[in-house]
Amino acid sequence: MRIADSPNQDDRPAGSAVTLVVLHSISLPPGEYGGDGIERLFTNRLDPAAHPYFKEIHALKVSSHFLVRRDGEVVQFVPVERRAWHAGTSSWRGRERCNDFSIGIELEGTDDSPFEEAQYRELAKLLRRLAGSFPLKAIAGHSEIAPGRKTDPGARFDWARLFAELAGASL
């Protein structure tokens, strides 16, 4: 696992147990894979002149705990004990501010494209490790915690496949 420290993080509220994992999808520029746009966005180094879309988003202060690239490489941006800024305005089972009690995992991809074998394999490994360290109770898509506002990881994400890979894990 590679570390790329993001400044977009802070302390979780005192006593906040991490019980939720939120899955996202992202590609920068949209629909393009393999570049450094995601890492640059999460580390506040996105050049607004590098692509027309970057002009719209370069000033965002966002992060995630992890990114799983198309080839399965895992990049960590924020220590799991700290709060990453991935969920935005959100609610899970009546509880607001999902960043307070969740771990955010980005998958390099789009809402309408299938994800890669290597991504499912590495995501399952990461989730098993996290379940061994935190009292995780659920995994949700960004679309589930911010309905009407977010659609990721999208209809092409294979939830059944992920849960089959996690069979026996304490989630």
Mean pLDDT score, 68-72: 98
Mean pLDDT score, 105-125: 97
* Mean pLDDT across the chain: 96
Mean pLDDT score, 16-39: 97
pLDDT in tens, 129-166: 999 999 999 999 999 999 999 999 999 999 999 999 89
Res 169: pLDDT: 65
pLDDT in tens, 43-69: 999 999 999 999 999 999 999 999 999
Measured CA distances, 117 to 19, 105, 127 (Å)? 26, 16, 15
Res 167: pLDDT: 85
| Structural domains of the chain, count | 1
Question: Is residue 42 in a domain?
Answer: yes
* Range(s) of the domain holding residue 26: 2-165
Question: Is residue 50 in a domain?
Answer: yes
What torsion do the CA atoms of 15, 16, 17, 18 make, to the nearest 10 degrees? -150
How many percent of the chain have pLDDT more than 70? 98
CATH of residue 70's domain is: 3.40.80.10
The pTM for the full model equals 0.96
pLDDT surpassing 90 at residue 171 = no
Res 60: pLDDT: 97
Question: Is residue 23 in a domain?
Answer: yes
Question: Is residue 171 in a domain?
Answer: no
65 in Cβ contact with 76 (< 8 Å): yes
Question: Is residue 105 in a domain?
Answer: yes
Question: Is residue 170 in a domain?
Answer: no
Geometric angle at alpha carbon 147, from 151 and 127, rounded to 5°: 65
Measured CA distances, 127 to 4, 35, 48, 167 (Å)? 19, 25, 34, 11
Question: Is residue 98 in a domain?
Answer: yes
Q: Which of 106, 108, 116, 122 is catalytic?
A: 106
Question: Is residue 101 in a domain?
Answer: yes
The answer to whether 106 is a known catalytic residue is: yes
